[in-house]
Chain A
Amino acid sequence: DSGVTQTPKHLITATGQRVTLRCSPRSGDLSVYWYQQSLDQGLQFLIQYYNGEERAKGNILERFSAQQFPDLHSELNLSSLELGDSALYFCASSAEGPGGTGNTIYFGEGSWLTVV
């Protein structure tokens, strides 16, 4: 158990809909990361937050957005869903922020999203 909690574990929704995935980082971790893993794309970095502020952006679509709240949990919002958004979405956390050295990123077990 990494200590990173993601909900829901499974979600099925229709095209055009909007969903929210939730992540609780490990206790004390200030950085949260979101990744997408689809069958043909591997693990793609989406976005990182540190202590409530966006820190790095990867291959995140404009239809997707994220935020990190004062209690450090994070949500990934996916809107106008398409069939191709079906994937496993991972959240990860680390204690590290700017200026840190070598702190490890720990992953949750993921949220399976199926768009039908």
Chain B
Amino acid sequence: DAKTTQPPSMDCAEGRAANLPCNHSTISGNEYVYWYRQIHSQGPQYIIHGLKNNETNEMASLIITEDRKSSTLILPHATLRDTAVYYCIVRVVGGNNNDMRFGAGTRLTVKP
């Protein structure tokens, strides 16, 4: 799987949008971009994923650049409960190996 690069930490004001960047410059055509978050030692929580089109669900939006070398996770109105470590992962889907490898992620702190 391709490696990703994320800033180690970010702050965001409560009620504002949180924009979390991720670089994945060596992504392959059959690799999806996944985002998970982990709130203090709880199980990682799935947020969103995409292949090449932008995606939106009730939690967040995912913007993938046209060349697919980077993406941004957007939490439109961050709350204190969004404070967590956010992981950007690129993952081959299909084939024999579709496991998921985590990097260090971005620690997002939402401040009042």
Contact = CB atoms under 8 A, between A and B. Distances in A.
B25 interface: no
B111 interface: no
Nearest to B42: A109
A88 B41 contact: yes
Interface string B79-112: 0000000010000011111111111110000000
The B contact surface, by secondary structure, is: loop
Interface residues of B, number: 25
B43 A2 contact: yes
A58 B99 contact: yes
Contacts of A100: 93-94, 98
Contacts of B46: 104-106
Contacts of B100: 33, 45, 105
Interface residues of A, number: 32
Interface in A49-74: 55-56, 58
Interface in B7-38: 32, 34, 38
A88 B104 CA distance: 16
10 contacts: A42-B102, A42-B105, A43-B87, A45-B102, A56-B97, A96-B93, A96-B98, A101-B93, A102-B51, A110-B43
Interface of B: 32, 34, 38, 41-46, 49, 51, 87, 93-105
